[in-house]
Amino acid sequence: MALFRIFYPRPSSFRFKISTLSTLQLSTVSSADLFYDHLQKKNGNVEKTLATVKTKLDSRCVNQVLHKCSLELSQMGLRFFIWAGRQPNYRHSSFMYTRACELIGLNRSPCLLFNVIEDYRREGCLVDIGMFKVILNLCKEGKLAKEALSILGKMAEFHLRADTTMYNLVIRLFTEKGEMDKAMELLKEMDSVDIDPNMITYIAMLKGFCDVGRLEDAYGLFKVMKDNGCAPNTVAYSVLLNGASRHGDLEKLMELLEEMEKQGGTCGPNTVTYTSIIQSLCEVGQPLEALKILDRMEDFGCAPNRVTVSVLVKEFCKDGHMEEAYKLIDRVAARGGASYGDCYSSLVISLIKMKRIAEAEELFRNMLANGVKPDGVACTLMIKELCLEERVVDGFNLCNEVDRNGYLSSIDSDIYSLLLVGLCEHDHSVDAAKLARLMLQKGIRLKPHYAESIIKHVKKFGDQNLVMHLGGIRE
């Protein structure tokens, strides 16, 4: 009897767990079914009917209901989605807005939005501003600017008034489409109905004007923004700086930078600001002016980072001023803005991209010899170039040297497969076996598209040791 008392609970407990799991799974499915059944009936006020369903509402349930409605009940599915977005214990994620647009087919049939609003009006539904926000967010996801504008106008029919957030959403839709006149009309409309634009409004407008090359309009709005008491910050200035640099307005670029430096605080330029200007000057072939900005940057107390160095190093390499590149690296690294490893890695990468492989390799090997750690991109590109030049053994030896220095983890995993293919193709079975063993130790898997070529060559020289190691690293 004791044995039975010991063993019986186990299968019973197991059955209980399965039963519980099944119940949980069914309850999730039945939640969607319950909502869908109510939507199919279309009896009376849909929202009131949905509120009577006492079941859990989550993103999985919402997704299932929309999927069920996607073929024949798209409008009811949309209505359910709007209702669900207003429930106290649930909030739509950005992913759910994407799914709703897909399943309901809003881009194909944006008229569904207006049909639902008309249903609300005809049925005398209680409509609040939150429901319109869900609808406008669907417009945002579907990039439906004109529809969003019309929906904004529909709010008055329900005695509702749009807020700054809603105007910002519609303005941004038009700025992203480059329709700045319409966006400006909305900005003026906000003023006419006593709705104050905020920093988000102005930044969207500034960026929109800069994107379409209307810099004078952007500068004018920037002044209006300040006159209206909306103090600009670094983000607003950066938008103008980017616009001025993209369109070659270097005079305005320097004027804005000087203004930022004078104001300081939340308007003060940062490392990104200075780096952006340095890049702009390099792009228009003014590296000496860019170096002056570097001086200015350090005087203001902003340390240049790796990106700053990379931009300048690239320009020096292009013009063949290698001595200037090395001086720059010493200067930045000595002041702690970026490490020697990061700076020299940027130089290696620039040389490789310019196909000056011999110089890049010499610098790379000097880095290793002097204990300067190259980054993953530099390691990956250097070894890859050696493989492309069919110097696969040199690439393998360099990989080993990087490993001996403890930097191997930074190499892209694809490079191992590329090396292994090269070693096999050139019949270096011993080195191939060593590399396969190293990959096994590091947990690096052989990429499937390389496997066929490798296996073909392995069969040719019949190395069982290599075959054994390859078996452990294939994906």
Q: What is the pLDDT of residues 10-25, one digit of tens each?
A: 444 444 444 444 444 4
Mean pLDDT, residues 366-374: 91
Q: Please, are residues 242 and 203 in contact by the beta-carbon 8 Å criterion?
A: no
CA–CA separation, 169 and 147 (whole Å): 12
With 50 as the cut, is the pLDDT of residue 136 above it? yes
Q: How far is CA 232 from CA 187, 220, 262, 266, 302, in A?
A: 17, 13, 13, 8, 20
Could you tell me the pTM of the whole model?
0.72
Write down the pLDDT at residue 341: 92
**Band (474; pLDDT cuts 50, 70, 90):** low
Tell me whether residue 164 is exposed, middle or buried, using C-beta atoms within 10 angstroms of its C-beta: 0 to 12, 13 to 18, 19 or more: middle
pLDDT, tens digit, for every residue of 46-99? 888 888 888 889 999 999 999 999 988 999 999 999 999 999 989 999 999 999
Tell me whether residue 100 is exposed, middle or buried, using C-beta atoms within 10 angstroms of its C-beta: 0 to 12, 13 to 18, 19 or more: buried
Alpha-carbon torsion (19, 25, 29, 35), positive or negative: positive
**Band (458; pLDDT cuts 50, 70, 90):** low
**Band (383; pLDDT cuts 50, 70, 90):** very high
The whole-angstrom distance between residue 315's C-alpha and the CA centroid of its chain comes to 28
Closest CA to 378 of 360, 395, 362, 394: 360
pLDDT, tens digit, for every residue of 232-242? 888 999 999 98
With 70 as the cut, is the pLDDT of residue 469 above it? no
